[in-house]
Amino acid sequence: MTRKFFVGGNWKMNGDKKSLGELIQTMNGAKVDPNVEVVCGAPSIYLDFVRSKLDPKFGVAAQNCYKVPKGAFTGEISPAMIKDCGVNWVILGHSERRHVFGESDELIGQKTAHALENGLGVIACIGEKLDEREGGITEKVVFAQTKVIADNVKDWSKVVLAYEPVWAIGTGKTASPQQAQEVHDKLREWLKTNVSEAVANSVRIIYGGSVTGGTCKELASQKDVDGFLVGGASLKPEFIDIINAKA
């Protein structure tokens, strides 16, 4: 079973129409590996703008959504609104949502179920903090996070699992290719045991955490690393090199 390589760019709370317009021009004009699925996570206020300008061969994602279609939830957006902008993906459970905004595993599970029910693809993020890795509980933490997501998924073809060790996000520290492969392999084993062998073999598990043009090739060569979720580097021209990491 070959899993299509997946590269997500998470622009976070960055960019304006000018700078994003320039980035989009660079992407639209670049030679990219046709065997890679690329999705750009834009700030919600720019979803319409980005979707209208970005070449249709690239997907667009919202960076978050809420768990119901509409209502008195000031400041939130729903999967229905995201789809209405022509956008087909959402990033859920990012460590910044968990640790800066206090989102619980339970809420992320509910959001995942609602997004999938409404036809969005979900990039579901999991990952341990530094004290958890140093305390030897990496597996316990990521398995617990994965279980809450798995309990809310019916169709795994619409889910990409993003392993992002929190200690490596925006710190310049990258998990070594071996560290990444080890966790990805254990996650696949967990899926085989707790979901099914077919899902374990087909679901894409991507790595995030200070991925750059310099680190991407060796990471991409690992057997169970099926792509990347890229932060800062996705706003720079080197994002193209990361997309082409397997080429």
Which residues are identified as catalytic?
94, 164
Helix (H, G, I), strand (E, B) or coil at 61: strand
CA atoms within 13 A on the CB side of 152: 22
Q: ∠ CA(239), CA(83), CA(111), 5° rounding?
A: 85
Cα distance between residue 89 and residue 212, in whole Å? 23
Cα distance between residue 6 and residue 228, in whole Å? 7
Cα distance between residue 66 and residue 114, in whole Å? 8
Instruction: Provide the angle, in degrees to the nearest 10, between the axes of the packed helices 138-150 and 177-194.
Output: 50
Report residue 106 as tokens. Answer: 């339970």
Report residue 21 as tokens. Answer: 């317009």
Q: How deeply is 217 buried, as exposed, middle or buried, from its count of CB atoms within 10 A (0-12, 13-18, 19+)?
A: middle
Report residue 229 as tokens. Answer: 């979720």
